[in-house]
Amino acid sequence: MSERDSRIEPGPNEIERTDREHVFGTWSYQKEVSPTQVVDADGVRFTTADGEEYIDFSGQLMCSNLGHSAEKVADAIDEQAREAAYVAPNYTTRARAKLGEKLAEVTPGSLSKTFFSTSGTEAVEAAIKIARFYTGKRKIVSRYRSYHGATYGSISVTGDPRRLESEPGIPGTIKAPDPYAYGSTLDPMESVEYIDEMLALEGDTVAAILVEPIVGSNGILVPPEGYLSRLKEIAHDHGALLICDEVMAGFGRTGEWFGCDVFGVEPDIMTMAKGLTGAYQPLGATIVTSEIAEHFEENMLCHGHTYAGHPVAVAAGLAAIETYQEENLIERASEVGEYLGDRIEELAENHPSVGDTRGVGLFRGVELTKHPEKRVPFGEREDKIDTGTTVVDEVSATAAENGTYVASMINTLIVAPPLTITEAEIDEAIEALDAGLDVSDAAMAH
């Protein structure tokens, strides 16, 4: 029994009780919400009010790509807040112009002009509207195992069960199958041809195919080589655009700047948030090709927010990208990511409840199973909107008792640490995960 196990739980402190009473928890039955107060975060670790320290093995919500001590970003926020904390979107600031230019530089191909917002879901809303305005068509094809955000347009194109309470959602959204070799009967390359047939049967009335190039919260699904380029070809054959949602996969997580770079594919529209500021400020971005940008010279871009291009947020974004570049964090993620992949494979060899491991760079998923031959999951998709805890949650809780925070989604543990993590820190976290996986091993069907 670890030192943490043997201690008597102190119960919620005053801040946690006050928060519990006055603030809604997200995506939760409120009776199950019990927020933990964080008092400090440094490097790849954070500390809670009861003095416990955790390795942040999921970068909070797969967004703290720079870790918790990015001085340059913190300074940029401080300086901009003092210089001009806010100006309306019809004015500009140095950071807004320079960040627009930087995004054109680090994104692939002719992606060159950005609309700024404040979150991933807003970046997706803008992408949907731009695709509809540009093509003059209305329908958006997305996939079942996907998450694109909580606002109405984004939740309507989301495939995971979080969408169900908001259905029927906005008109014109259609769901397609996913490249999920472990849990689906459809071969990934067959599933992409099925999408071709879908667009034909829709009579070429589809504005865009919207995908996460590497699916994030729905299980870290990496498509086979050739899948994404074929999807782009299918979209273009039917007069539709390809939108890549890079909100989670972007900014170095995969060892490349963006998930689509892993496959050498340039989308027509790309959405970003999370790692764009390393999560130091809320900022979303939707970048389009110069061809699409040109369309809006003579057609109104009928979209905007009070905080579009918020000076403090874009200052954080610019400093974050400079930090990725100056500290070679993208290359680093690729190198350290290899080590992380090897260590996860060792876990898989030692734990029969690990059914599948997937991922690239510092973006990895560990899918659990009760029964390896039959591939029976511990957590079902419906559990995402159900009450209570699953064995997968218990694995995460045990890892936390051993000093490592790792997010679990449905049936998969999501490993997405800050890109600054060292091999020694990975070893520490893997040890905690090892203890967690003993719980799922013990719960397997015999």
Our CB check for ligand PLP shows the closer of 128 and 248 to be 248
Our CB check for ligand PLP shows the closer of 162 and 371 to be 162
* Residue 300 CB contacts under 8 Å (≥ 6 apart), including other chains: none
Considering only residues 32 to 71 of the shown chain, the ones binding ligand PLP according to CB under 6 A are: none
Our CB check for ligand PLP shows the closer of 219 and 377 to be 219
Our CB check for ligand PLP shows the closer of 188 and 250 to be 250
* Contact (CB, 8 A) for 365 and 413: yes
Our CB check for ligand PLP shows the closer of 147 and 402 to be 147
Our CB check for ligand PLP shows the closer of 223 and 403 to be 223
Considering only residues 213 to 252 of the shown chain, the ones binding ligand PLP according to CB under 6 A are: 216-217, 245, 247-248
Our CB check for ligand PLP shows the closer of 124 and 395 to be 124
* Residue 398 CB contacts under 8 Å (≥ 6 apart), including other chains: 435, 436, 438, 439
Our CB check for ligand PLP shows the closer of 212 and 383 to be 212
Our CB check for ligand PLP shows the closer of 216 and 417 to be 216
Query: What's the token pair of residue 171?
Result: 């008109």
Q: How far is the CB of 63 from ligand PLP (least distance, A)?
A: 8
Neighbour count for residue 386 (Cβ, 10 Å): 12
> For ligand PLP, which residue of 121, 408, 411, 420 counts as binding (CB under 6 A)?
121
Q: How far is the CB of 148 from ligand PLP (least distance, A)?
A: 5
Q: How far is the CB of 346 from ligand PLP (least distance, A)?
A: 28
Q: How far is the CB of 227 from ligand PLP (least distance, A)?
A: 17
Q: How far is the CB of 237 from ligand PLP (least distance, A)?
A: 25
Q: How far is the CB of 179 from ligand PLP (least distance, A)?
A: 15
The rounded distance, in Å, linking the Cα atoms of 257 and 227 is 19
> For ligand PLP, which residue of 119, 353, 408, 420 counts as binding (CB under 6 A)?
119
Query: What's the token pair of residue 236?
Result: 């273009």
Piece in contact with ligand PLP (CB under 6 A), picked from 118-126, 133-141, 305-313, 425-433:
118-126
Give the residue closest to ligand PLP by C-beta.
120
CA-based nearest residue to 192, from 156, 143, 150, 153? 143
The rounded distance, in Å, linking the Cα atoms of 285 and 305 is 12
Block residue for tokens 């993590």:
421
> For ligand PLP, which residue of 55, 214, 243, 273 counts as binding (CB under 6 A)?
273
> For ligand PLP, which residue of 67, 120, 153, 267 counts as binding (CB under 6 A)?
120
Residues in the chain: 446
Our CB check for ligand PLP shows the closer of 148 and 238 to be 148
* Amino acid identity at 33: V
Number of residues that bind ligand PLP (CB under 6 A): 14
Q: How far is the CB of 282 from ligand PLP (least distance, A)?
A: 7
Considering only residues 83 to 112 of the shown chain, the ones binding ligand PLP according to CB under 6 A are: none
270 is a contact residue toward ligand PLP (CB under 6 A): no
CA-based nearest residue to 285, from 152, 130, 158? 130
Considering only residues 136 to 165 of the shown chain, the ones binding ligand PLP according to CB under 6 A are: 147-149
Our CB check for ligand PLP shows the closer of 119 and 412 to be 119
Q: How far is the CB of 118 from ligand PLP (least distance, A)?
A: 8
Q: How far is the CB of 125 from ligand PLP (least distance, A)?
A: 9
By CB under 6 A, name the binding residues for ligand PLP.
119-121, 124, 147-149, 212, 216-217, 245, 247-248, 273
